[in-house]
Amino acid sequence: MEPHSRRASAQQEAENQPRVIVMDPAWRRFVPRADALAMRCVRVAGVTASVVLANDRLVRGLNARHRGRDKPTNVLTYEHPAPELILALGVIRREAAAAGRRVAHHLAHLVVHGALHLRGHDHDHAGDARRMEMAESRLLHQLGVPNPWKQTPGKRS
């Protein structure tokens, strides 16, 4: 193998590795080491996706452009040109507060959720949704994150 071929292979391998980009520094205020948590989640989920920790404004623009929905959402999943998850801090904070969960736990759940979409899971039908929830629960358990689908005593949805 030529030396330049090894460099090209190493570069391609590096490009296929998951990475976390913190676009909104406020993530670090609400989830200490959010980048490390997101990286652990994609690794446990078995995907090589990049994770972008963004704000609602960016996610709203992408959601409008690519899905025709002019509002922010919690996570957007892209497969092309490379696997990528983009998460909106404001939406995730509001959802975590409404559910009485830690922002870090909700972030972990949504990274796992997006990763499962990249692995072909979906939740369009009841059976598919149940299978996806079970897969999320198993992966979150490995991460030490409480099951988001389990009703906590004294709490109503």
Local confidence band at 151 (pLDDT 50, 70, 90 cut-offs): low
Provide the 3-class DSSP secondary structure of residue 7.
helix
Measuring CA to CA, how many Å separate 27 from each of 33, 46, 128? 9, 24, 31
CATH topology of domain 14-143: Collagenase (Catalytic Domain) (3.40.390)
pTM score, whole prediction: 0.86
Residues 40-77 pLDDT 10s: 999 999 999 999 999 999 999 999 999 999 999 999 99
Residues 54-63 pLDDT 10s: 999 999 999 9
Structure tokens, 109: 């759940």
Helix (H) or strand (E) holding 67: helix 56-67
Q: Can you give the pLDDT at residue 18?
A: 83
Give the domain ranges of the chain.
14-143
Residue labelled with tokens 């460099």: 7
- Helix 103-118 to helix 126-143 angle (10° resolution) is 120
